[in-house]
């Protein structure tokens, strides 16, 4: 549908990519340009079978969340957008 309406590239984002069953085959055959996925679930095996997968490393963010929680600091501030910056 997107291509029929003029899209030249299509991107999808997945948070916890558990690509089960025929999911990777469907992605490979689809008009999707790329699927970006966090590494909250290991992605190496999936990437080997699907060249359209891109991995977003969330380890630094998880580490910072753990550090802030341990030190009693705000985790919310990581997700607040300040338009004045």
From first to last of the 85 residues of the chain, give the pLDDT tens digit. 899 999 999 999 999 999 999 999 999 999 999 999 999 999 999 999 999 999 999 999 999 999 999 999 999 988 887 766 5
Q: Supply the pLDDT for residue 53.
A: 97
Q: Could you give the C-alpha distances from 47 to 53, 57, 60, 69, 70, in angstroms and in order? A: 6, 14, 21, 32, 34
Helix (H) or strand (E) holding 65, with range, is: helix 59-70
Q: Supply the pLDDT for residue 11.
A: 97
């Amino acid at each position: 549908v997107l291509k029929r309406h003029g899209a030249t590239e299509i991107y999808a984002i997945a948070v916890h990519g558990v690509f089960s069953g025929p999911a990777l085959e469907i992605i490979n055959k689809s008009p999707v340009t790329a699927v970006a996925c966090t590494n909250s679930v290991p992605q190496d095996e999936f990437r080997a079978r699907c060249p359209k997968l891109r991995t977003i490393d969330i380890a630094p963010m998880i580490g910072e969340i753990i550090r802030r929680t341990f030190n009693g600091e705000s985790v919310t501030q990581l997700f607040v957008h300040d338009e004045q910056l």
